[in-house]
Structure 1
Amino acid sequence: MDILKYAEKAMSMDNETWSRHSNPWSVYTRFTALPLISLAFWSREWFDVYSLVLIALSFLWVWVNPRLFSEPKRTNNWASMGTFGERIYLNRENEVIPIHHIKACRALQVLTAMGLPFFIYGLYALELWILILGNFWVMAFKAWFVDRMVWLYIDMKDSNPIYQSWFKT
């Protein structure tokens, strides 16, 4: 199982949750997750063992975020189409998607992962600039991945009536 499939399973993403997550507010506020996790782990310096509460809350935010907002009335926007593309990408074992999308997504996943050592070391050593670099690196490539998911959705939306039904103007 790839990491995205595992994450989807851990997040308990069903059709209703995906519909809610296609709300642009959900997508854009999701970009706060990594900085909040960073701050929560960094708080061990100030709150010692009580920082575990903030760490738990930051991970709770990751789980709650896709469920927090209502299903959008319109989905003809970058954020919504990014979530649609991700759904298609996660379903690639059941429906063929163009190989150029798979290659690009795998490359972006590798590039994203390359920022994790900076992120982890920055948290471990409490090195602010390394942590900022790790956050920026991971979030920049995640945003690029979402952009690629928009492209995937645009390429695939006419291939399946379900995909077409997600698009609302």
Structure 2
Amino acid sequence: MTTPTMEQRIARVFGLQGDKWMRHANAASVWTRFTVLSLLALAIWSRDWIGWYCLIPIALAVLWMMVNPLLFPPPRSTRNWASASVLGERVWSERGTADIPAQFRSPVPNLTNVIGVAGLILLAYGLVRLDVLTTVAGVLIVNVSKLWYLDRMALLFAEVKGRPEYASWDF
């Protein structure tokens, strides 16, 4: 038995197993998930305006993050960048048991995640200090690093979608 990858552990936390990946691959779900970080930052910032009541918008932002993939049906087609990126992410998360093409066995996905963590640190600092520029920079860095990661995953899916184990995902 292979040790689960970090991505598989995260997927389990969000309930992404089996067919639930397809709901997650709905392009509308992918694009609306990009609102989560901005909404969460705004909710945390609101502590300056509404005090402890900021816990309400924070809870709503966290709820949005958790239920977002559940709100969308499986996509009618996966032949778009957003869906392909999620399906590539699924392939990547299963790399302990899946054969990943050589050109994708690189540090780039990990690098994008490190950049994202640096953006989160900057974002947290901006939110603690109530510094608009630092907060916005943090959000942008996190989102751009996620887009880079997802782009790599879309390319990965494009490379493997002809394999029998993934062919049914390409519709």
Q: TM-score, normalised by structure 2?
A: 0.91
Q: Single out whichever of 41-50 and 124-133 deviates more from structure 2.
A: 41-50
Q: Which residue of 1 aligns with 2:90?
A: 87
Alpha-carbon distance, 1:87 to partner = 0.3
Q: Which residue of 1 aligns with 2:151?
A: 147
- Count matched residues: 167
How large is the RMSD of aligned CA atoms in angstroms?
1.5
Task: Tell me the distance in 2 between the aligned counterparts of 1:21 and 1:158.
Answer: 21
Give the fraction of aligned pairs with identical amino acids, expressed as a percent: 37
Task: In structure 2, give the amino acid aligned to 1:60.
Answer: L
Q: Which residue of 2 aligns with 1:73?
A: 76
Q: Which residue of 2 aligns with 1:108?
A: 112
Larger proportion of helix: 1
Q: TM-score, normalised by structure 1?
A: 0.92
Alpha-carbon distance, 1:2 to partner = 5.2
Q: Which residue of 2 aligns with 1:33?
A: 36
Gaps of 5+ in 2: none
Q: Which residue of 1 aligns with 2:46?
A: 43
Whether the aligned pair in 1 keeps the contact of 2:5 and 2:93 (CA below 8 Å) is: no
Q: Which residue of 2 aligns with 1:13?
A: 16
Task: Tell me the distance in 2 between the aligned counterparts of 1:29 and 1:102.
Answer: 29
Q: Single out whichever of 132-141 and 37-46 deviates more from structure 2.
A: 37-46
Whether the aligned pair in 1 keeps the contact of 2:8 and 2:94 (CA below 8 Å) is: no
1:117 aligns with one of 121, 132, 138: 121
1:138 aligns with one of 133, 136, 142: 142
Task: Tell me the distance in 2 between the aligned counterparts of 1:33 and 1:9.
Answer: 19
